[in-house]
Amino acid sequence: MTSEIIHRLQESETNAETLANYWERVMPKAAKPDTAQFLLWARLHRTNVAVMFDAIDQTARKFAATGGKMDLDYVTRYASKAANTLQMQRRRPAETKAA
């Protein structure tokens, strides 16, 4: 492996751990996805990991609004959808400027 690939893997692992810790801080009573899910999110949103933090915040608000009635599947899917939506919204202004 090249040093760049190794660096990216290490960065993804660090970001995944940070995301998991953040999840536990903002939603201590919510079911927590496994490490592989956080690693997937860190890799998918590598260029803008802030998107995932914002998605976790949105998920925490939804979790609170439902009175904590979100199971593991629900919180995971909700966070994924929120991250994908935020990523698309944040790309659009940049694409508009480039056109």
For 3-52, the pLDDT digits (tens) are 888 888 888 899 999 999 999 999 999 999 999 999 999 999 888 899 99
Q: Which position has the token pair 């903002």?
A: 26
Q: Which residue range forms the structural domain that includes residue 16?
A: 3-98
Tell me the per-residue pLDDT of 58-69, one tens digit each, with 9 for 90 and over: 999 999 999 999
How many CA atoms are closer than 13 Å to the CA of 21, on its beta-carbon side? 6
Q: Which residue has the tokens 């890799």?
A: 43
* pTM of the shown model: 0.86
Q: Which residue has the tokens 């925490």?
A: 60
Long-range pairs for 51-54 at CB < 8 Å and ≥24 separation? 51/83, 51/86, 51/87, 51/90, 52/15, 52/19, 52/79, 52/83, 53/19, 53/22, 54/82, 54/83, 54/86
Number of structural domains (the chain) is 1
